[in-house]
């Protein structure tokens, strides 16, 4: 019998604490650390890990059952540099990693929660942006992509006005080239449907500009 995978989880009702000790340990033990926030099936992270065996790759998602697909692939390939774990960014984002430790954060196609009354379920806001900027190491990258314009514009505003972040494409600009050779499942679906994808790339500054 196939288990039904939920399309959405209400993050306001889900504590879903991530295994912080294990995550911190993995980060300490590795030179390059990439994290996808809201990784879904985790296949993007797995593909990245396959191509770069030296780094540590971490995918986090609130829907634990959807991670199983990626975990099966990790087991089959015997990859030791990937972790796919549960996490609710509304609860534990700032505590997940040591400050200045992550090389790249990926936010790939975050849930848009289109209805206005559901906007409070979007996890990416000012405090999440601040947490990510502080968890990134200087020179590290915050990478974002989406096919939905309004939350993308909101993300651009949040990142652009954070003193620790610098837009690598120039102020208030989108980045043209694809962000990675590997594609996420949602990215592949968008491409099949011919949807436009907006992309952002921000670098963590050495020190605050104030
Ligand atoms: C549209 S999917 C994109 C999945 C994948 N990144 C891709 O591009 O194929 C967004 C993912 O974010 C996860 N998500 C939404 N809110 C979250 C939260 N508060 N904490 C953790 N994950 C969350 C959802 O469960 C979902 O898997």
Provide the CA 135 distance to its chain's centre, in angstroms. Answer: 13
Q: What backbone torsions phi and psi does residue 189 show, to the nearest 5 degrees?
A: -65, -40
**92 catalytic per annotation:** no
115 has a pLDDT exceeding 90:
yes
CB 113 within 8 A of CB 165: no
Q: What strand order describes the sheet that includes 56-61?
A: 82-86, 56-61, 33-37, 102-108, 136-146, 198-204, 165-167
Would the CB of 185 count as within 6 Å of ligand 1? yes
Would the CB of 39 count as within 6 Å of ligand 1? yes
Q: How confident is the model at residue 208 (pLDDT cuts 50, 70, 90)?
A: low
Nearest CA among 118, 178, 96, 123 for reference residue 145: 178
Is 3.40.50.150 the CATH number for 20-204?
A: yes
pLDDT at 164: 97
pLDDT at 161: 97
Would the CB of 106 count as within 6 Å of ligand 1? no
pLDDT tens digits along 128-140: 999 999 999 999 9
Q: How confident is the model at residue 3 (pLDDT cuts 50, 70, 90)?
A: low
How far is it between the farthest Cα atoms of the chain? Answer: 58
The DSSP element (H or E) to which 108 belongs, if any, is strand 102-108
pLDDT tens digits along 4-58: 677 777 777 766 667 788 888 888 777 899 999 999 999 999 999 999 999 999 9
């Amino acid at each position: 019998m196939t288990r039904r995978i939920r399309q959405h989880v209400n993050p306001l009702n889900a504590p879903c604490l991530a295994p912080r000790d294990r995550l911190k340990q993995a980060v300490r033990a590795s030179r390059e650390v990439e994290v996808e926030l809201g990784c879904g099936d985790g296949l993007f992270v797995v593909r990245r890990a396959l191509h770069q065996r030296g780094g540590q790759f971490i995918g986090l998602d609130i829907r634990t059952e959807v991670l199983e697909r990626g975990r099966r692939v990790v087991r089959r390939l015997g990859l030791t540099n990937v972790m796919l774990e549960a996490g609710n960014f509304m609860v534990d984002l700032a505590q997940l990693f040591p400050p200045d430790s992550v090389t790249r954060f990926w936010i790939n196609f975050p849930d848009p929660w289109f209805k206005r009354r559901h906007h409070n379920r979007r996890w990416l806001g000012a405090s999440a942006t601040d947490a990510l900027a502080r968890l990134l190491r200087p020179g590290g990258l915050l990478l974002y992509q989406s096919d939905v314009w309004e939350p993308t514009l909101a993300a651009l505003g949040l990142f652009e006005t954070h003193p620790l972040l610098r837009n690598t494409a120039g102020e208030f600009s989108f980045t043209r080239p694809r962000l990675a050779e590997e594609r996420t499942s949602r990215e592949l679906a968008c491409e099949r449907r011919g949807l436009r994808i907006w992309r952002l790339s921000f670098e963590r500054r050495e020190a605050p500009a104030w």
